[in-house]
């Protein structure tokens, strides 16, 4: 996302939530003291921002059900092979092919890679609105399965990518071994980020997400092997 898009998202967020000015400046790229603390939890390496001048970590907690921005402002919902089966079955489709035809859309998008490059992704995405097209990819659309109470109408078979939030994840080759990495998504949409002197308050969350993130990477890799998506370096 561009800084302009993030600024617009924060402006919308501030209408309903108090946003820490330090975290706001961080998300807008106005801090010059940002380093990264890497911590391995089970099979996932988390990269957590640290602000040197004030000696604070940027951490996260979820405010659901008071907040459902992650469901109302998603840019896309890529599906794994596992998602296609479980969501299709949950929506009473007898054939996965019919589910794909009626409920999904193909899209190609770019993501920034950890080394500063660009990764081009292609895959099958769940339609966030019934008439969604590829032209809608990357735009903020409220998910059609989100109800008025902030609950998901297809939970617990919602897309695996939904369980990842607020993290993004990638695989990195380290001496011939694929390591799973994860870091926060800073899009300006989430009110859950806060400052703390240590990472202790997030220990349980990191333990929980390490399993979710590792499982998602395993299923995502399988989707590529099944020919239902592709990744290439730009």
> What is the block-wise mean pLDDT of the chain (234 residues), using blocks of 10 residues?
91 96 98 96 96 98 94 94 96 96 94 71 96 95 94 94 94 84 95 97 97 95 90 66
CB-based contact 69:191 (threshold 8 Å): yes
Characterize the bridge pairing of strands 44-51 and 56-60: antiparallel
Structurally, the chain folds into a number of domains equal to 1
What is the per-residue pLDDT for 120? 87
Q: Residue 81 belongs to what domain range?
A: 3-233
What is the per-residue pLDDT for 1? 75
Apex 113 CA angle, 108 and 117, nearest 5: 90
What is the per-residue pLDDT for 230? 85
pTM to 2 decimal places: 0.91
Whole-angstrom distance, CA of residue 5 vs CA of residue 9? 6
Q: Cβ–Cβ contacts within 10 Å for residue 176, how many?
A: 5
Task: Record the tokens describing residue 19, joined without a space.
Answer: 């946003």
What is the per-residue pLDDT for 118? 76
């Amino acid at each position: 996302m561009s800084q302009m898009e993030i600024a617009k998202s924060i402006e919308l967020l501030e209408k309903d939530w108090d946003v820490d000015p330090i975290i706001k400046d961080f998300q807008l790229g106005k801090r010059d003291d940002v380093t990264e603390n890497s911590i391995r939890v089970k099979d996932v390496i988390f990269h957590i921002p640290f602000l040197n001048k004030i000696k604070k970590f940027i951490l996260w907690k979820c405010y659901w059900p008071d907040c459902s921005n992650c469901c109302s402002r998603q840019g896309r919902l890529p599906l794994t092979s596992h998602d296609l089966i479980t969501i299709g079955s949950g929506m009473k489709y007898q054939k996965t092919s019919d589910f794909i035809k009626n409920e999904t859309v193909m899209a190609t998008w770019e993501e920034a890679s950890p080394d500063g490059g660009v990764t081009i992704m292609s895959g099958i995405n769940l339609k966030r609105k019934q008439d969604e097209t590829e032209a809608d990819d990357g735009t903020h659309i409220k998910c059609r399965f989100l109800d008025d109470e902030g609950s998901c109408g297809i939970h617990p078979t919602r897309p695996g990518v939904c369980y990842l939030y607020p993290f993004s994840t990638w695989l990195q080759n380290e001496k011939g071994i694929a390591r799973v990495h994860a870091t926060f998504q800073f899009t300006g949409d989430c009110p859950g980020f806060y400052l703390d002197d240590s990472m202790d308050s997030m220990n349980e969350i990191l333990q929980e997400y390490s399993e979710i993130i590792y499982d998602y990477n395993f299923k995502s890799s399988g989707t590529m092997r099944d020919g239902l998506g592709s990744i290439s370096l730009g």
